[in-house]
Structure 1
Amino acid sequence: MPATLLGRWSDSGALSLGILGVGNIGMVHLKSASAMPGVTPVAAADAVPSNRDRAESAGVARTYDDYTTLLEHEDLDAVVVALPPFLHADAVERAAEAGVDVFVEKPLARTAEEAEEMIETAREADIALGVDHTLRYQPDMVGVKDEFDEGRVGHVPYASITRLNDGPLGRPPASEAPPAWPLDPEAVGGGSLLELGVHCLDVLEWLFGDLEVQSASMGQTLDVPVEDAATVLLRARETETTITLHCGSYQWEQLPEVNTRLRLEGITGTITNQDHLPANFYADAAHSALTNATSRLRRSDPDVFGPTFYLQAHYDALEDFCDAIRNDEAPPVGGDVGLRTLELAEQAYELAAGEDDAALEIPEVVS
């Protein structure tokens, strides 16, 4: 970490944070930062006026309609990049010019090559680059890792992970057209594998170490230009574990209470994230929400993201990043992690494309 960061944290002031993009996930980061000790979100940028209005209502001091303008006018310690993927590289470059550390939403980039360029940009500018891979921060995933690391079930020959989400049109009946960019391959780099699968790839390497992709297939349940389902067969080299990964964006009327399922089949038993969830998911959420409201009435610090552990995981990931740069340390989930998930995803895309080509190949007929 550069020496300039040490000087930056020589005083007792709060870390000043900018939020680039305050759509759904950007607002999560804004509210996380607002509840975080030693962190002050001072400015936000978004091209959509209603998003800027929401940021102002959430307490941010200043808003801008362009993230470049924000970086030019604000004296910040760090920014959160919660923009569409096609803007990630430019936002990191602008932040590097301003000497500001960066915490980027996943996927880090649209391609591994683009991610490598972003990592080099950050290195040359001596700024920290972190990535919001939050699945490893969920308590159910932490519980699985703890059991696995303790050797509770011995060797794990097989594991599986599934991650689901709403489809591109939202839950039916679809009343409004979705934004164009999530369905534009040039804007996002891919479909469900990049939107959902990179989370799974990250948590699997966090658990098992280096992975190799053995086979993959991509599917489309809707007539859209990106895949809305992906299935990948992987193997962990160190643990010799075979793993199946499936991710999909489906038009479900109601998603499961928990949209990620992880299961490790060990030689002496099974570990599953279901064993590390609250006994009654929604009752637990309601209790946390009530605790938040009571805390606000008492003017004490609310557990803002208690109602769902998904949002708490985003809080914990951002807090980890902020603590790291405050302590002159490398981010715990850095650009190299974001790059690795993209490399694995690209291997899966290549294998899936090869299988499609093979299926379409017409054998020569010898008379």
Structure 2
Amino acid sequence: MLSSTIGRLTGSDTLTLGVLGVGNIGMVHLKSARSMPGVEVRAVADALPENRARAERVGVPQTYDDYTTLLEREELDAAVIALPPFLHADAVERAAAAGVDVFVEKPLARSTEEADRMLDTAREAGIAVGVDHTLRYQPDMIGVKSEFEDGTVGHVPYASITRLNDGPLGRPPVENAPPSWPLDPDAAGGGSLLELGIHCFDVLEWLFGELEVQDASTDSTLDIPVEDAATVLLRAPETETSITLHCGSYQWEQLPEVNTRLRLEGITGTISNQDHLPQNFYAGAAKSALTNVMRRITGDEPDVFGPTFYLQAHYEALSAFCEAVREDERPPIDGEDGRRSLELAETAAELAAEKNTAGLEPVEVTR
């Protein structure tokens, strides 16, 4: 386990923050941080000039084309690591050398082995590691957990969770080529299991306690080098619940549709996250979506909290991390949690690979 964080707040109660990587999710974290009381975004780093320009437009005082330089030059309390997975380990190592706590975009690493090295480095430097597992902060998931813990439906023998989206390729017509790293197994660590499934593993253990992976299969509906579909059979010994998990990046997202569905089948009824969506969710989300379309047409930055409540969950996750750093406490979702979700995804991938390999072996036919 990580040791307690070391108080490093500079001069006042204001927490100084840097954002490493301001692409899609990095901009979400940047805008979230800029709207938080008691948080000052000092600088951002990104290799792409257009991303740095976007950050400057929202008021960031200093930008760098290299996160190493940012960590060397800026005096920070914490940094958001919103870089591709293959850069997470290096960024954590350099942040540790600078004594900077880190909030890492999921997945924490590309493998448990890499995660162990990262956490060892953080532990030796005395820095905190938080991980952006946001499903726990969505109001629908909070509602499911509350109802489950109240015993509303009694014992839950079976549960299912599905998380789908359109992955890195996007919904046609695609204006720009997708980034290459999400389709590179070495750079990303995998496909849907690490992009989508890892969120599901985290929220399921948050609900049911420690999980066991019993079986798994993966597939590619498209001709790409990573899996874009995965199905996993899990068991929660503490609650005696069998669980199926399916994740896939093969379905076009249609905002404001909710792309995560969780159902708990209890002996006296069913709990569904669909029953815990905010009031007027679809009407409000649709309005936000149209507003953001107009913002893009006029050249304005889209609202960080539209078009759905997903981005608000990112705000809550980062805010909780910043508060933990400020209070010298362990982050509510820390590096060990991130490593555990990675371990479950890795186990599922290994089981699926064994099945796929076995299916390719020649079969001896006897007469």
Q: Which TM-score bucket, shorter chain as reference?
A: over 0.9
Describe the shift of the 1:16–1:253 C-alpha distance in structure 2 as closer, same or farther (beyond 3 A).
closer
Matches within 5 A, 1:43-82: 43-82=43-82
| Cα distance in 1 between the residues matched to 2:105 and 2:359 | 36
Letter in 2 for 1:223: D
After TM superposition, the structure 1 stretch with the greater mean CA deviation from structure 2, 51-60 or 251-260, is: 251-260
Residue identity over aligned pairs, in percent, reads 75
Displacement of 1:166 in angstroms is 1.3
Q: Residues 4 and 226 (structure 1 numbering): CA distance in 2 closer, same or farther, change over 3 Å?
A: closer
The equivalent residue for 1:133 is 133
Distance 2:84 2:42 in 1: 21
Q: How does 1:135-284 map to 2 (within 5 A)?
A: 135-252=135-252, 254=254, 257-284=257-284
Q: CA deviation at 1:309?
A: 1.1
> Secondary structure, in 3 states, of the residue corresponding to 1:123?
helix
Alpha-carbon distance between aligned partners in 2 of 1:314 and 1:27, rounded to the nearest angstrom? 11
CA distance in 1, matches of 2:183, 2:358: 26
* 2:226 alignment partner AA: V
Structure 1 pair 247/268, CA: closer, same or farther in 2 (3 Å)? same
Partner of 1:332: 332
Deviation at 1:11, TM superposition (A): 4.7
The whole-number CA distance in structure 2 between the counterparts of 1:4 and 1:264 is 37
**Paired position in structure 2 for 1:5:** 6
Q: Secondary structure, in 3 states, of the residue corresponding to 1:202?
A: helix
For the 8 Å contact 1:19–1:26, the answer to whether it is kept is: yes
- Counterpart secondary structure, 1:168: helix
- Provide Cα deviations, 1:66-121, integer angstroms capped at 9, x if missing partner: 00000011000000000000000000000000000000000000001101111101
- How far has the Cα of 1:5 moved from its partner? 2.7
Range with bigger deviation, 152-161 or 277-286: 277-286
Runs (5+) with no aligned partner, structure 1: 292-302
Flag the 1:253–1:73 CA change in 2: closer, same or farther, 3 A: closer
Contact 2:4-2:329 within 8 A present in 1 as well: no
1:314-333 alignment, distance < 5 Å: 314-333=314-333
- 8 A Cα contact 2:256 2:307, kept in partner: no
Match of 1:162, SS state, is: strand
Partner of 1:295: none
Residues 1:354 and 2:362 are matched in the alignment: no
Q: Quick one: distance in 1 between partners of 2:16 and 2:242?
A: 44
State the alpha-carbon separation in 1 of the partners of residues 220 and 17 from structure 2.
39
Q: SS state of the match for residue 249, structure 2?
A: strand
Give, in angstroms, the shift of residue 10 of structure 1.
8.0
Q: Tell me the CA shift for residue 363 of structure 1.
A: 3.1
Instruction: Quote the offset at 1:288 in angstroms.
Output: 7.3
- Once residues 114 and 361 of structure 1 are traced to their aligned partners in structure 2, the CA distance between those partners, rounded to angstroms, is 31
Instruction: In structure 2, give the amino acid aligned to 1:282.
Output: Y
d(CA) in 1 for partners of 2:4, 2:332:
19
Query: Displacement, 1:287?
Result: 7.0
Separation in 2, partners of 1:174, 1:220: 20
Structure 1 contact 35–304 (Cα < 8 Å) conserved = no
Where in structure 2 are there 5+ consecutive unaligned residues?
Answer: 292-302
Alpha-carbon shift at residue 307 of structure 1 (Å): 4.7
> Which position in structure 2 is the counterpart of 1:124?
124
Q: Which position in structure 2 is the counterpart of 1:297?
A: none
Pair 1:313–1:220, CA change in 2 (3 A): same
Query: Deviation per CA, 1:204-224, whole angstroms, max 9, x where unpaired?
Result: 000000101111111101100
CA distance in 1 between counterparts of 2:365 and 2:289 reads 68
- 1:34 Cα deviation from its structure 2 partner: 0.4
What is the match of residue 102 of structure 2? 102
Q: Secondary structure at the match of 2:168?
A: coil
For 2:185 and 2:289, the matched residues in 1 are separated by: 38
Structure 1 range deviating more: 151-160 or 249-258:
249-258
Alignment partner, residue 89 of structure 2: 89
The Cα offsets for residues 243-262 of structure 1, whole Å up to 9 and x where unpaired, read as 01011112527366101000
Separation in structure 2 between the aligned mates of residue 17 and residue 176 of structure 1, nearest angstrom:
31
Deviation at 1:306, TM superposition (A): 6.3
Contact 1:278 1:284 survives alignment (8 Å): no
User: What residue number does 1:30 align with?
Assistant: 30
Q: Using the alignment, how far apart are the partners of 1:86 and 1:102 within structure 2?
A: 16
Corresponding pairs, count: 356
Q: Which digits, 9 at most, give the CA deviation of each residue in 1:164-216, with x for residues without a partner? A: 11133210123432111110000000001100000000000000001011111
Amino acid across the alignment from 2:36: M
Tell me if structure 1 keeps the 8 A contact 2:92–2:118.
yes
What amino acid maps onto 1:20 in structure 2? L
Question: Contact 2:220 / 2:227 at 8 angstroms: preserved in 1?
Answer: yes
Corresponding residue of 2:298: none
Distance across 2 between alignment mates of 1:104 and 1:171: 27
Q: Work out whether residues 256 and 286 of structure 2, in 8 Å CA contact, stay in contact via their aligned partners in 1.
A: no
Query: In structure 2, how many angstroms separate the alpha carbons of the residues matched to 1:11 and 1:64?
Result: 24
CA distance 1:255–1:166, change in 2 (3 Å): farther
In the superposition, the TM-score normalised over structure 2's length comes to: 0.92
Supply the AA of the counterpart residue of 2:138: Q
